[in-house]
Every structure is written in structure tokens, then in C-alpha cells.
Amino acid sequence: MLARRLALVAASLSLLGGLALLGAPAALAQMPAPNVIKDPKAAPAGVYKLDPRHASATVKLAHMGLSHYTLRLDTIAGSYTYDPAHPTATQVSVTLDPKSVDTGDTKFNEEISDKFLDAGKFPTITFTSTKIIAGAGDRGEVEGILDFHGVQKPVTLHVTYRGFVEMMKQQRMGFSGEATFKRSDFGATSYIPLVGDEITLLVEVEFAKQ
């Protein structure tokens, strides 16, 4: 008898959990649009950590002059300490995993990771800011050092500030960035000129306050 009651309780809890999951999207759909604040000084001071669920790093480069081939690096991490009184003093650090190449083809992922990026020898790609330059409106530049393929060289990231949001007891800031550089400057020369030398890196990132 006791076993039967426990089974009924477990089934009820399972059903309630399923109904809650089914209702979650509807509840989210009824939530008001977030109030995105474009003034960077409105964001509170503190440590902000990159949210990997809402971040992407996309690489574009020419293939045989026929297309600008696109791939992703799925593993990305980063953080910064922010002071709204001195926003341009912020120092940003972002790390990418070259083994996390995603082309949609597993074998091709391994080929690019091993032969193109030499991920076994150089297991991380990092960008560390050295200077932030505020531009007009929501635009700016982040100058920094890119450590890629075992070589460190300056690269400029052109950034658009997407704004600050406080919602569901969480505070976050969002950015879009684009940088262009020659991979041969970093000693990554595989398949040139069949595959283009110039790389365009596109990032879409959100950082959540800790």
C-alpha cells in the first residue's frame, strides 16, 4: 500500500514538472520587452563574466576566391572588471579554444583544428585588451594583443555597445565586435593561397554581472 502511494506521488510530481516545462515558454512570451539602456555609465560597477550560452565567435575567410567560408569556435570564455566612472579603463580578456571548431562536419572540424590551427601545439587563442577608445554613439575600438598560433601581435577590435539590461534579477551588458588580420602574421600559413590569408573574426557576446 505504501509503495503504491509513493508511486502515485512520484507520478504526480513528474506530471507537474512536465506541465511547468510546457508552461515556461508561454510565461516567457508574456514577459515585457527588456529595457535596454544604451548609456554605458548606467551599468553598475563590478566583475562581469562572459555568458557562453549567449556568445559566439565566427571566423570568415576566402576559399579559392569563390566564397567567404564561415566557421564557428564554440568554446569561448572571458571577463572584465567594470567601473562606470571610468569605462575606457576596463581591461577585457577573452579566450577561444581552437579545438572547438564547428563547420557542421566532424572530420572537417578535426582537419581545420589540427592542420589549420595546430590546436595540439597551440591549445588556446586569447585576446587581452590594452586600450579602449570611445567612438561616436555606441561605437568604439578595443586595442589589444592577440595570442594566436604561438605569436603575439596587436589587433584592433571594432566594437558596438548593444546596451545594459537588468532583468530576472540579473544584470548584463552586450557587445558586437569585428577584427580583421592576416593569419600569416601569426605563422599560420597552411593552404595559402588556396585558402585566404585575411581572417575576419566576428563576436557577439553578453557579459553577466557576478
DSSP 32: P
- Express the helix, strand and coil content of the chain in percent, nearest 5 each: 25, 45, 25
Q: What is the C-alpha to C-alpha distance for residues 166 and 208, in angstroms, rounded to an integer?
A: 10
Mean pLDDT of all residues belonging to the chain? 89
More confident residue, 32 or 206: 206
* Torsion angle, alpha carbons of 205, 183, 89, 178, to 10: -40
Helix (H, G, I), strand (E, B) or coil at 193: coil
Max mean pLDDT range (31-35, 143-147, 188-192): 143-147
E strand spans, the chain: 46-50, 56-63, 67-73, 76-82, 92-96, 101-102, 125-134, 139-148, 151-167, 170-182, 198-209
Q: Give the pLDDT of residue 29.
A: 64
Whose cell is 605569436? That residue is 151
In tens, the pLDDT along 74-108 reads 999 999 999 999 999 999 999 999 999 999 999 99
